[in-house]
């Protein structure tokens, strides 16, 4: 009798709060992380802080995927954000703990693991491997191992169980890509059918090779000269490399790249807004399938309006604002006509946004021709992929040509 | 936003665009029977000749707005046929295809442009004593947000579904015109508004007295009192002409057809009960509550005979006449007399001591509130009639800001029972929190130097709304009383808000009357 009553109460609760659960998870983990991060940004006015927080919270993709498509991504992303927040205060242990929690919640967070590792390793090296650095290294290693053990304890009964969990987490048997993703392999398959040319083993090795090749430079630079700013840029470039070149990537993995980009919205507003718009656009086929077209259009317009009014992105397009001063100085030596940089960037942005708008309209209203049923999803993927390659070069350029290191410059977070 | 301050109107457009996008997001939410009401009216006006409009009764939702609104629906129906022809068939009761929902919601969002324009006009006439500060702290900006993003208007118009946006736009625009001393335009706009929705007759006394006193009498004596010799026949003739012209345009066709009695009976259905199924939080809600308590106490202590008490409960969900058990029953005439008596002081104030447009606005708000307090069959949505004009006064004086906060928070909270479906719970709580937090923080920042806006008693009252909401929405459905007394959450909400609204009404009245006394003393 009692159990029946409890079950009845439980059912009632579920009917009252079906989709409100995600909101609760958001409120507990993700939103506090965003607000605290913006509160403690250094050298920004209160207004900029509020504007940053607003823009980050209004980021369309996370809202659409978590509430529309229905997932709980904000928990793992929130934990990763807490990790970044703690690291910016030099609370390395808490930061590593938060990040381990993020990984154990969703293994996609492994995309961020290399920058965390390299940054902390670089810090240890800086402090000297014989003294304080070694102590720090041991403490971090212990924290990581302990948190993994605690999380995996229920599954550690047999080796077979652990292997099964790993097999489920990393489905290598599924193939190079599934459906239409804004990823190199999917875009290349328009020209060459990679799946038919190479065996699965070679595919695995090829994607491994490309991924690590593209993220190594940034990681090495981060280990040798760790600074918080470089760490954040490395988060973006590593996650983007993984997204573009890795195995069995879902289009939702773009969220892992977007959240670190959101963190830099008050430093390079134009490029961040541009990237975030493209990332939402790359999810269009998925959103159309879920019937989220109206929500997509409205949230994207709202996001663009808020960013445009808060950060006046169209005025800040010089090289200095795009953090490319050192790179452009070196290029200007070779190509004198590089002076029209702001205009080029502005026109590229407008062309890109118009293109995305047109493709959205076409995907929503027109039916594709019989011979090419996947015309619109594929074009969305290819366009997004090209944009992402451009951003990959951009973010890597910032990390590699950035001649500032954390010691003798004024602290810019 | 600092950079956007340089481009003046940019922030207003951004606010308007932002709220329109939010309204688009609310398109797929729950809509009430009012949706079917308007679909039915689209069908009636599209298919039938004018002579049949006020006689058609296939659906229970007959046409009960004045003719201008019927013509408005007629115009809309010509656009509707491109969305879905089926919605225009009268027999398709409760037809709500996706295209229908999309069209109707879009029409509300589109007609809100008038409200945006009116808000823009009102913002220009806000008197900010502290100019030149940052944009977010300017009275203009605060007023724009309080008007454009008003929570009550959002949920009533864009979720529950009604067309209040452009009607309030007309009212605010007429107020703005009176502020600009364009009296004839203001009068015209109000006359038109009356023929769109006759509920605005509640504030007609304020308009009549103000126009008579401050427009028809062109001058005042030195001490501010009436100068009878300055009466202008031309002006009163013009006003009369405007009103007659508008009425002729609206009611003329029906007078010619001899249908006026039918139209009047449709517009003023006095067969309905004193209170709606959910009691609007006015004086009669408190009256009913006292009556019920006395009845319960009486039965318990054997003062009353249980056989003589009627079984039907006032909150049974049916809209019908009923009798009170202990206290005397209330007739429509009694409510009319009460309303009349309650608006007299404010109207006298406006006549004997006019303080220009601001005095008129105060009188308008008091008329709206008094009619809300004592009217017959008042809807809880009518509280918006008082809240929106009060926003104009709230950014100018800290006293008004305090009253505004109490009235708005309780008024908005009393609208909660309109949205009772589970998915809307989170939406309404979030939007309410956003609006309330913003109104408190911005008004407090605006009047930082004047001390606290609310005293401790008022603050406690407002904070107690949170546990009340938790009880009504979460705790009560899980208790065994839900089956026996299903109306308890509605009763509690209604009575609790009635206390707050009555308090705000009395406080506003007292402050307006004492202000006019001090003005008179200063003049003497």
What is the tens place of the pLDDT at every residue in B413-429?
Answer: 999 988 888 788 888 89
pLDDT of B233 higher than 90: no
* pLDDT for the residue A179: 67
Q: How close B290 gets to chain A, by Cα (Å)?
A: 33
* pLDDT for the residue B57: 82
DSSP state of B220: B
User: Tens of pLDDT along B126-156?
Assistant: 765 555 567 777 888 899 999 999 999 999 9
Cβ contact B304:B326 at 8 Å: yes
Chain-chain contact of A299 with B25 (C-beta, under 8 angstroms)? yes
- Rounded distance between C-alpha atoms, residue A376 and residue B95, angstroms: 34
* pLDDT for the residue B318: 36
* pLDDT for the residue B364: 94
Per-residue pLDDT, averaged over B493-505, amounts to 93
Q: How many other CB atoms are there within 10 angstroms of residue B237's CB atom?
A: 11
Cβ contact B22:B153 at 8 Å: no
Phi-psi region of A248 (alpha: psi -120 to 50; beta: other; left: phi over 0): left
- H-only helix segments in B330-383: 332-352, 356-374
pLDDT band at B175 (very low <50, low <70, confident <90, very high): very high
Cα distances from B412 to residues A15, A222, B409, B457, in angstroms, run 25, 54, 5, 19
pLDDT of A142 higher than 80: yes
Question: pTM of the predicted model, to two decimals?
Answer: 0.82
Which of B2, B11, B422 is opposite residue A47, by nearest beta carbon? Answer: B2
Residues of chain B in contact with residue A45, where contact means CB-CB under 8 angstroms, are 2
Give residue limits of the domains in chain B: 283-329
Residues of chain A in contact with residue B422, where contact means CB-CB under 8 angstroms, are 15-18
- Among A241-245, A402-406, B179-183, B404-408, whose mean pLDDT is lowest? A402-406
* pLDDT for the residue B502: 94
Cα distances from A404 to residues A43, A197, A410, A411, A412, in angstroms, run 17, 45, 10, 11, 11
Does A11 contact B at CB distance below 8 Å? no
Name the residue with tokens 């350029």: A397
Cα distances from B7 to residues B4, B10, B54, B134, B366, in angstroms, run 5, 6, 50, 13, 38
**Secondary structure in 3-state letters for B81-102:** CCCCHHHHCCCCCCCCCHHHHH
Tell me the torsion sign for CA atoms A162, A165, A170, A174. positive
* pLDDT for the residue A388: 92
Largest CA distance in chain A: 84
| DSSP class per residue in B410-429 | HHHHHTGGG--SHHHHHHHH
pLDDT band at B165 (very low <50, low <70, confident <90, very high): very high
User: Of the segments A176-180, A322-326, B50-54, which one has the largest average pLDDT value?
Assistant: B50-54
Report the SS3 class of residue A239.
helix
Report the SS3 class of residue B278.
coil
pLDDT of B204 higher than 60: yes
Burial class (CB in 10 A: 0-12, 13-18, 19+), B119: buried
Q: How many other CB atoms are there within 10 angstroms of residue A217's CB atom?
A: 14
The whole-chain average pLDDT of chain B stands at 85
Report the percentage of chain B scoring pLDDT > 70. 90
* pLDDT for the residue A353: 92
**Secondary structure in 3-state letters for B255-302:** HHCCCHHHHHHHHCCCCCCCECCCCCCCHHHHHHHHHHHHHHHHHHCC
Report the percentage of chain B scoring pLDDT > 90. 40
Contacts of residue B501, Cβ cutoff 8 Å, sequence gap at least 6: B281, B282, B369, B372, B373, B383, B407, B410, B411, B414
pLDDT band at B314 (very low <50, low <70, confident <90, very high): very low
Per-residue pLDDT, averaged over A75-86, amounts to 89
pLDDT band at B224 (very low <50, low <70, confident <90, very high): low
Contacts of residue A367, Cβ cutoff 8 Å, sequence gap at least 6: none
Cβ contact A116:A83 at 8 Å: yes
pLDDT band at A209 (very low <50, low <70, confident <90, very high): confident
Chain-chain contact of B18 with A16 (C-beta, under 8 angstroms)? no
* pLDDT for the residue B56: 83
pLDDT of A311 higher than 90: no
For residue B132, give both structure tokens.
């030149």
- H-only helix segments in A17-131: 20-25, 31-39, 46-57, 60-63, 73-88, 92-105, 113-126
Q: How many other CB atoms are there within 10 angstroms of residue A350's CB atom?
A: 11
User: Tens of pLDDT along A117-136?
Assistant: 888 888 888 887 777 888 88
- Among A392-406, B180-194, B240-254, whose mean pLDDT is lowest? A392-406
Per-residue pLDDT, averaged over A272-279, amounts to 92
Q: How many other CB atoms are there within 10 angstroms of residue B64's CB atom?
A: 16
Cβ contact B217:B232 at 8 Å: yes
* pLDDT for the residue B152: 93
The whole-chain average pLDDT of chain A stands at 80
Q: How close A401 gets to chain B, by Cα (Å)?
A: 31
Which of A297, A309, A315 is opposite residue B14, by nearest beta carbon? Answer: A309
User: Tens of pLDDT along A370-383?
Assistant: 888 888 888 898 89
* pLDDT for the residue B353: 80
* pLDDT for the residue B317: 38
Q: H or E element: which one contains B205?
A: helix B204-210
Closest to B139 (Cα-Cα) out of B124, B157, B161: B124
Write phi, then psi, for B217 (nearest 5 degrees): -95, 105
- Rounded distance between C-alpha atoms, residue A363 and residue A377, angstroms: 8
- Rounded distance between C-alpha atoms, residue A371 and residue A375, angstroms: 9
Q: Which of A302, A307, A315 to mutate against chain B (most B CBs within 10 Å)?
A: A302
Per-residue pLDDT, averaged over A349-363, amounts to 91
Largest CA distance in chain B: 74
Residue that wins the pLDDT comparison between B62 and A326 = B62
Which of B4, B134, B478 is opposite residue A12, by nearest beta carbon? Answer: B478
* pLDDT for the residue B311: 52
Count of pairs with CB atoms under 8 A, one residue in A, one in B: 55
For residue A8, give both structure tokens.
């009845």
Residue that wins the pLDDT comparison between A344 and B251 = B251
Tell me the torsion sign for CA atoms B305, B311, B313, B318. negative
pLDDT band at A328 (very low <50, low <70, confident <90, very high): low
Per-residue pLDDT, averaged over A59-83, amounts to 84
pLDDT of A407 higher than 50: no
Chain-chain contact of B1 with A47 (C-beta, under 8 angstroms)? yes
Per-residue pLDDT, averaged over A139-162, amounts to 80
Residue that wins the pLDDT comparison between A362 and A41 = A362
* pLDDT for the residue B316: 45
- Among A162-176, A196-210, B194-208, whose mean pLDDT is lowest? A162-176
pLDDT of B4 higher than 60: no
Write phi, then psi, for A374 (nearest 5 degrees): -100, 25
Q: How close B24 gets to chain A, by Cα (Å)?
A: 7
User: Tens of pLDDT along B253-305?
Assistant: 888 888 888 888 888 876 667 777 778 888 988 888 888 888 878 877 777 66
* pLDDT for the residue B517: 74
* pLDDT for the residue A326: 66
* pLDDT for the residue B195: 93
pLDDT of B308 higher than 70: no
For residue A323, give both structure tokens.
């953090």
* pLDDT for the residue A387: 92
């Amino acid at each position: 009798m009692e159990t029946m009553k409890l079950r009845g109460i439980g059912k009632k609760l579920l009917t009252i709060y079906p989709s409100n659960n995600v909101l609760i998870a958001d409120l507990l983990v993700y939103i506090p992380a965003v607000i605290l991060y913006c509160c403690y940004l250094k050298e920004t006015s209160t207004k900029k802080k509020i504007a940053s927080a607003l823009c980050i919270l209004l980021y369309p993709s996370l809202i659409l995927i978590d509430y529309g498509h229905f997932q709980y991504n904000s928990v793992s992303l929130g934990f990763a954000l807490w990790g970044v927040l703690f690291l910016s205060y030099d609370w390395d242990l808490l930061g590593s703990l938060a990040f381990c929690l993020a990984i154990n919640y969703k293994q996609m967070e492994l995309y961020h693991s290399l920058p965390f590792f390299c940054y902390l390793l670089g810090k240890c090296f800086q402090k000297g491997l014989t003294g304080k650095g070694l102590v720090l290294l041991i403490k971090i290693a212990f924290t990581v191992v302990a948190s993994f053990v605690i999380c995996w304890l229920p599954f550690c009964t047999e080796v077979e169980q652990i292997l099964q969990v790993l097999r489920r987490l990393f489905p290598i048997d599924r193939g190079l890509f599934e459906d239409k993703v804004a990823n190199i392999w999917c875009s290349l398959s328009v020209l060459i059918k990679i799946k038919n040319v190479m065996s699965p083993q070679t595919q695995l090795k090829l994607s491994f090779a490309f991924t690590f090749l593209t993220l190594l430079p940034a990681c090495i630079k981060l280990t040798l000269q760790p600074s918080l700013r470089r760490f954040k840029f490395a988060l973006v470039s590593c996650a983007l490399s993984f997204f573009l070149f890795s195995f069995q990537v879902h289009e939702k993995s773009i969220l892992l790249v977007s959240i670190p980009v959101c963190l830099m919205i008050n430093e390079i507003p134009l490029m961040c807004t541009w990237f975030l718009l493209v990332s939402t656009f790359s999810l269009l086929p998925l959103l159309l399938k879920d019937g989220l077209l109206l929500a997509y259009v409205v949230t994207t317009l709202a996001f663009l309006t808020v960013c445009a009014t808060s950060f006046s992105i169209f005025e800040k397009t010089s090289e200095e604002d795009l953090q490319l001063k050192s790179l452009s100085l070196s290029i200007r030596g070779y190509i004198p006509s590089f002076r029209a940089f702001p205009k080029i960037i502005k026109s590229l942005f407008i062309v890109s946004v118009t293109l995305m708008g047109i493709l959205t309209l076409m995907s929503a209203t027109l039916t594709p021709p019989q011979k090419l049923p996947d015309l619109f999803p594929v074009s969305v993927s290819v366009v997004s992929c090209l944009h992402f390659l451009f951003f990959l070069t951009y973010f890597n350029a910032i990390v590699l040509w950035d001649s500032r290191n954390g010691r003798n410059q004024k602290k810019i977070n | 936003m600092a950079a956007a301050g340089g481009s003046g109107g940019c922030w207003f457009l951004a606010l308007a665009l932002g709220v329109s996008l939010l309204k688009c997001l609310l398109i797929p939410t729950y809509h009430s029977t009012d949706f079917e009401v308007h679909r039915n009216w689209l069908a009636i006006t599209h298919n039938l000749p004018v002579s049949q409009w006020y006689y058609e009764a296939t659906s229970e939702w007959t046409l009960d707005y004045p003719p201008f609104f019927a013509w408005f629906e007629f115009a809309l129906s010509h656009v509707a046929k491109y969305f879905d022809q089926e919605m225009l068939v009268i027999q398709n009761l409760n037809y709500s295809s996706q295209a229908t929902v999309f069209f109707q919601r879009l029409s509300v969002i589109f007609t809100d442009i008038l409200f945006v324009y009116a808000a823009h006009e009102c913002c220009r006439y806000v008197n900010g004593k502290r100019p030149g500060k940052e944009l977010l702290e300017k009275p203009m900006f605060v007023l724009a947000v309080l008007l454009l993003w008003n929570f009550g208007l959002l949920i009533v118009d864009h979720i529950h579904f009604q067309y209040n946006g452009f009607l309030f736009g007309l009212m605010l625009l007429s107020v703005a015109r009176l502020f600009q001393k364009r009296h004839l335009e203001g009068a015209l706009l109000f006359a038109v508004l009356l023929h769109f929705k006759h509920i605005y007759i509640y504030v007609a006394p304020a308009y009549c007295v103000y126009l008579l006193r401050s427009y028809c009498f062109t001058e005042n004596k030195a001490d501010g009192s009436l100068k009878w010799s300055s009466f202008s026949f031309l002006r009163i003739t013009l006003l009369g002409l405007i009103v007659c012209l508008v009425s002729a345009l609206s009611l003329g066709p029906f007078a010619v057809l001899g249908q006026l009695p039918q139209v009047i009976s449709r517009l003023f259905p006095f067969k309905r009960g004193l209170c709606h199924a959910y009691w609007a939080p006015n004086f009669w809600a408190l009256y009913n509550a006292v009556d019920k308590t006395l009845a319960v106490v009486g039965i318990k202590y054997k003062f009353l005979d249980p056989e003589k008490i009627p079984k039907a409960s006032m909150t049974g969900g049916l809209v019908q006449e009923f009798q009170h058990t202990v206290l005397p029953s209330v007739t429509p005439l009694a409510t009319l007399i009460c309303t009349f008596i309650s608006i007299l002081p404010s109207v006298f104030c406006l006549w004997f001591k006019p303080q220009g447009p601001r005095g008129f606005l105060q009188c308008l708000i008091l008329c709206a509130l008094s009619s809300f307090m004592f009217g017959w069959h008042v809807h809880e949505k009518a509280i918006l009639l008082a809240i929106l004009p009060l926003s104009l006064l709230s950014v100018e004086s800290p006293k008004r800001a305090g009253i505004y906060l109490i009235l708005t928070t309780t008024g908005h909270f009393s609208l909660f029972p309109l949205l009772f479906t589970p998915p809307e719970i989170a939406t309404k709580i979030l939007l309410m929190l956003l609006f309330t937090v913003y109104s408190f923080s911005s008004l407090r920042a605006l009047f930082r130097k004047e001390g606290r806006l609310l005293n401790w008693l008022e603050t406690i009252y407002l904070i107690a709304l949170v546990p009340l909401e938790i009880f009504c929405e979460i705790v009560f459905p899980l208790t065994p009383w839900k089956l026996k007394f299903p109306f308890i959450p509605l009763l509690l909400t209604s009575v609790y808000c009635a206390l707050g609204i009555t308090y705000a009404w009395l406080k506003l009245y007292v402050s307006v009357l004492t202000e006019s006394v001090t003005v008179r003393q200063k003049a003497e």
